[in-house]
Amino acid sequence: GDGLAREMLGEALHLAPEDVVITEGENGKPLTVGTFFSISHSGDVVGCAVSDREVGLDLEQIRGVPARLGRALEGWQTPEDFWHLWTRREAAIKCCGGTLGQWRREPLGDLAFSHPAVPEGYVAVICEKK
């Protein structure tokens, strides 16, 4: 994830990947000067989103739902439904901050969500502040 982020940030900032400085903000969120980014990985897949606005990316392999996580979200019927809801919440948390408890229902606010292409068996959501 770090290598992919450095490559993508290097392109966005017109720097060599090794010259990109990544620091850590509140709650361990990775930061850099000049642009926003978010990294996520699950299974054998890693992703990175880079934006000129606050951004959060979550990527998950579709799999069985652990009972404690299943109780954390309402409105899902199948594991695929659950992971779609989960990635949406996690992307919002990575973008805006907060906790899952604050985002149990549909995220509110001025946010834009998109669904990047991912390999079969995975789901991903990018959340950006408008």
What token pair was written down for 93? 């948390």
pLDDT tens string 78-88: 999 999 999 99
Predicted TM-score (pTM) of the model is 0.86
For the segment 43-71, the average pLDDT, to the nearest whole number, is 93
Which among 73, 94, 87, 86 has a CA at the least distance from the CA of 30? 94
Q: Is the pLDDT of residue 118 over 70?
A: yes
Question: What is the distance between the alpha carbons of residues 15 and 37, in angstroms, rounded to a whole number?
Answer: 15
CA atoms 88, 124, 126, 48: torsion sign: positive
Query: Under DSSP, is residue 95 helix (H, G, I), strand (E, B) or coil?
Result: helix
Which among 38, 44, 47, 48 has a CA at the least distance from the CA of 61? 44
